[in-house]
Chains A and B, each alone.
Chain A
Amino acid sequence: MSNNDLIVGLEIGTSKICVVVGETRPDGTLKILGVGQAPSRGVRKGEIVDFETAMKCVHEAVVDAEQKSDVMIRSVYVAVAGGHIQSFNNRGCVILPEERDEIDDQDVEDVKISAREVSIPAQNAFLHSIIQHYHVDGQDGVLNPIGMLGGKLEADFHIIHGVRTRIQNTIRCVKELPLEVEDVVFSALASAQVVLTQHQKNLGALVVDIGGGTTDYILYVDGAVKQSGALAIGGDHITNDISMGLRIPMARAEKLKTEEGSCVLGNCLPGETILLKDDSGFAGKEIERETLNTIIHLRLRETFELLKRTVEEEPFINYVGAGIFITGGCSLVNGIDHLAGEIFEMPAHVTHAQTLSGLTSAVENPQFSTAIGLLKYAQAVQVDRPRRGITRIFGRFFSGMR
């Protein structure tokens, strides 16, 4: 195929649908050719609720991307999110035959399969199984066991799974366009590929992707994924809170949130107000800035506290050295890094996709982290480099689903 080196990432978000077109160069670098987007309708909390409308929106975004990058899009990598996505860690084990003591490719494949031999709810399907570490005869922290000598090979995997039908809905929405779905990727995993450097993954980092409808997180320790998941709370909830608290329409609440809102309290003058203009530009309603900020603050604080309780169910958060990396559209709320830093008691940063060439304006917007991350993920999978964090058995999980 002529566009073999062309990679397209598609994210069906709650507030917008975003398509990023990139190409891989022979030297392994990734260049972004164009970004298409369309406002999203028919999606709530990261899941499609109105199939027809959502499909139209995806089509719009794809057409936009085609025009901007001047290519034909045939196949895409799709990001999925939603509160149904869960994860756990599991260890697989393989005993080598008596007559052989050198570990080969097949043993590594076998150990992966054995790691997946766990029970997940019947309606769920595997999304990813990501290798963390191998253990050879009890020796910890082996990165690549192939060629090593040993009698017993064990492997720790991080397994991400979600409700099968909901993932299928997303796939179908794209397939009906018609576009080929190359792979389905959990959105936080995709984001982490571009917002974190390998060094940060090694130090330990928590990536929090706060989008319109969901808050997805993924936690790296020692360069491996240890924890991941999603909360069905996002920027839409803030907007909804503002709309209800101040009794203004959703569209205006959204504007107020992005243009004026902050989640830091006590940083504005007492009695400082924001004047809302009505459609004709005349003075409308006056809103106390502190009130607006309180609403945003309360929601975000609750979200972060919930997230903190969730990640603290396992001990890994204590090994995070690089801090929290917040991305996604909602990370643009003023002061969100201060709030996160305060709650998690560690450094927090608002980040966007790093280390890519082309279209810097798109790269530097945290709203596109996931879609750009898809490209990086795809690149890693296509090259099939043995890279930790992304190694997965390609296509096998969904072979029955598509």
Chain B
Amino acid sequence: MIQLSKNYSLPERQEEPIPIKVVGVGSAGSNALDRVLLDGMDKADLIAINTDVQSLASSVATRKVQLGRSSTHGLGTGGDPELGYQAAIESADEIRQAIAGARMIFICAGLGGGTGSGAAPIVAQLAREAGSLVIAFATLPFSFEGKRRAAQAQDALSRLNEIANAVICFENDRMGDMVAPKAGIHQAFGIADMTISQSVRSIVNLIQRPGLIRIGFDDLFAALRSQNGRCLFGFGESDTDNRAHDALTQALKNPLMDKGRMLSEAAHVLVQVAGGPGMTLSEVEILMRELGRHVRDHTQIVFGTAVDGKMGNRLSVTIISSLASEDSIAAQDTSPPSEPFLAPPPAILEQVEEPPPAPPAIDIVPETESEASPEPAPDDLIAVEPPVAAEAPPPPVPAPAPSIKKPAPRLIPPKKKPVVEKEAKPPKEKPVQAKQEVLQFEPVTRGRFEKSEPTIVEGQDLDIPTFLRKNIRVK
């Protein structure tokens, strides 16, 4: 009930900058958060939430919440989402306090581990209950981290998808594409953090910046509507002479954008162009025309523009869109729940009634926890099932499967989503490959050496380009 009063105070503050909080859950989340802070973020409060005290202590966030003082004793979760979940439930009050009063909450979490996968959905849920809009930035583990982590991440992702208003999902595997193959692993992880930070900041800016053509929450959620789909996100900034073109190129270069190829399949694209007072109409026009080449004719482009004195000479482009996942059935399934997102107030009311169910969840789980946590024997699973009657996951016999699915039912007692949804894996297929074109060469030429004495070594005329002689096709 306390939450209700806080919620109602929100609309009055709309004249001021919208209160935004960025929450990093787990170690990966707080790394991303640190990056957001280091990159400079004055428009939002940053909160680090973690079970691991050491990691928490090293975070530079202004506010920190330690999860599970008694269940994890300040240690990590050892990659167990169940433990992360327990810890979050234990510290639910502290989390509520920390996130109170925010109109929008961004949750950064690295899925696949314990705290990120287990606690992030709880944080999202608490935030929704508190009446905030929730956008989750989730990273999926590298495929080399193992199938189990991937499955845990998928699990957590589908739960986040149900709870959060929007989920922007980064596949670490694709982050890898951003760094040169020879770059160090440290750099690869750093790039992932940087991309998240960039996205957080650009969405915050998108919403906070006074816009000539304003982009609202509704536009944002419309662009992010298709759940379980692939989120397309691109951000570019440039201050060169040809800044409009350069910024767009940079935005399209983003790994979540796949060089703009994926953009042609999106139905809804949100674009914000921001610049200093010097931004000209023709620049915006050039940019939009160039972007137009990447989208289909019937794609709806939601366009926003903002002038910000702080931008100086720079011009930035933010592109947000989403694609339905490859199995469109899954996308269709999830589109109805997206409707309430467009109208936050009713959603809040709905959610406010839910807190009661949440505490029982806390009660239920501890009993099963003691049995379940050591090793998931089939017996344990049966013991787990009763509290979650609606779920009824197929009785899993193989050993690895139960361990992954186990936390699923207990984590979201109020939600009625079938666990089967996990099957709707985010698109893993390779991005569209550019077609290899065959260049037709005229009868072998020697270019500028046409008239000079040929250099014949070992029977080859070395004046002819090597790739022609070796028959290596270059595009």
Binding site for B on A (CB under 8 A): 44-45, 49, 83, 231-233, 236-237, 239-241, 243-245, 247, 250, 266-272, 275, 281, 283, 288, 291, 294-295, 298-299, 301-302, 306
Contact = CB atoms under 8 A, between A and B. Distances in A.
Given A271-B434, A295-B467, 4 more contacts: A49-B452, A231-B455, A233-B462, A245-B465
Nearest to B444: A244
B181 A266 contact: yes
Interface stretch (B165-173, B241-249, B262-270): B241-249
B466 A288 contact: no
A236 B453 CA distance: 14
Contacts of B446: 240
A294 B448 contact: no
Interface string B222-266: 000000000000000000011001000100010000010000000
A188 to B, nearest CB: 17
Interface in B421-475: 434, 439, 441, 445-449, 451-453, 455, 457-458, 462-463, 465-468, 470, 472, 474-475
29 contacts: A231-B457, A236-B449, A237-B463, A237-B465, A239-B448, A241-B447, A241-B467, A244-B445, A244-B465, A245-B465, A245-B467, A247-B439, A250-B448, A267-B180, A267-B181, A268-B180, A269-B177, A269-B179, A269-B253, A281-B241, A281-B242, A283-B245, A291-B475, A294-B467, A295-B466, A299-B465, A299-B467, A302-B470, A306-B457
Interface in B136-195: 177-182
Contact of B467 (A239, A268, A272, A298): A298
Contacts of A299: 465-467
B182 A294 contact: no
Given A240-B463, A298-B472, A299-B465, A45 B182 contact: no
B233 to A, nearest CB: 17
A399 B459 CA distance: 37
A241 B180 contact: no
Nearest to A275: B249
B78 to A, nearest CB: 35
Interface residues of B, number: 36
B437 to A, nearest CB: 11
A194 to B, nearest CB: 28
A44 B451 CA distance: 10
A236 B465 CA distance: 11
A241 B466 contact: yes
A294 B180 contact: no
Per CB-CB distance, the 10 closest pairs between chain A and chain B, nearest first, are A241-B465, A240-B447, A232-B455, A44-B452, A298-B466, A299-B466, A302-B466, A291-B474, A291-B475, A298-B467
A302 B242 CA distance: 39
B182 A267 contact: yes
A240 B177 contact: no
Contacts of B458: 306
B396 to A, nearest CB: 38
A240 B444 CA distance: 13
Interface string B88-132: 000000000000000000000000000000000000000000000
Contacts of A83: 455
Contacts of B470: 298, 302
Contacts of B452: 44-45, 49
A295 B474 contact: yes
A237 B462 CA distance: 8
Contact of B447 (A49, A232, A244, A266): A244
A240 B461 CA distance: 14
A281 B179 CA distance: 29
Given A250-B448, A288-B475, A294-B474, A240 B465 contact: yes
A245 B259 contact: no
Contacts of B245: 283
B469 to A, nearest CB: 8
B102 to A, nearest CB: 36
Contacts of A295: 465-467, 474
Q: Which of B182, B447, B449, B470 gathers the greatest number of chain A CB atoms within 10 Å?
A: B447
